Amino acid sequence: MPKAESSANTEYTFKPIGFIESPYRQKFAIPRQPGLVPSARGVIHFNEEFAHIDCVRGIEAFSHLWLTFVFHETAAQGWKPLVRPPRLGGNMRKGVFATRSTFRPNPIGLSVVELVAVEDKKLIVRGLDLLHGTPILDIKPYLPYSDSVSGALGGYADAKQTTGMSVSFTREAEAALLQHQHEYPELRQLISEVLQQDPRPGYQREQSWDKEYGMHLYDFNIKWRVVANDNHVISIS
């Protein structure tokens, strides 16, 4: 009998079905897992070929979705067999396949998000951890009976990290929140949830110098300092 041909070395080309509109405009400060910042809302826009109502018919019956996407901003940097997970402070190396590092042989990511609504061939989601403009390759419904595994082990990331950090705002920052409250009613909550995750690099968390940090959410430049265990938001511009 002829030997079956292996497809292990076959190359595949994928076409994005759309992209996501996200409040995260830079990699810094994106939560390291989905669902950690519930107020982070996004919109999945479909490319013309897939912008047909039939493609999402029945999807509203599901509360959550799996998104397969491309790490498009880091893809060109290639990959290494060993990486330094932020969860371990960036000081220990683990095999790339034992992590969720963005630097992978194939720069593909997987996230579960909550489906909020289907609007005019667009999907409104929240709890996302995706950079603005991220190409979406596929969408599948999340199935609780099979996708949630009772008793599963999480290795070195077995439990959700909690920083216990608080968030405060200067008068200037409070005024900016008030000014944009109508257009961005969840901005305060979004900023607070992101900063409570402590987006600083692991090696800086033990430092005590007076350093100013910045991040971009939507079109806002948010600046803050860490004072004791408080993220003190200085300005929102």
- At 113-148, the pLDDT tens digits run 999 999 988 999 999 999 999 999 999 999 999 999
Phi and psi dihedrals of 110, rounded to 5? Answer: -140, 125
Looking up tokens 């080309």, which residue turns up? 13
For residue 101, with 0-12 CB atoms within 10 Å meaning exposed, 13-18 middle and 19 or more buried, which class applies? Answer: buried
202 pLDDT above the threshold of 80: no
Determine the Cα–Cα distance for residues 39 and 35; give it in Å rounded to an integer: 9
In sequence order, the β-bridge partners of residue 125 are 42, 115
- At 181-196, the pLDDT tens digits run 999 999 999 999 999 9
| Residue type present at position 59 | I
Instruction: Give me the count of residues in the chain.
Output: 237
Neighbours of 220 (CB within 10 A): 19
Looking up tokens 């491309």, which residue turns up? 70
Q: Three-class SS of residue 49? A: helix
Q: What is the CA radius of gyration of the chain?
A: 20
> Is residue 109 within a helix (H) or strand (E), and if so which, with residue range?
strand 108-119
| Residue type present at position 14 | F
Query: Which whole number is the average pLDDT over 71-89?
Result: 88
167 pLDDT above the threshold of 80: yes
What confidence category does residue 111 fall into, taking pLDDT thresholds of 50, 70 and 90? very high
As given in the structure block, the two tokens for residue 127 are: 């709890």
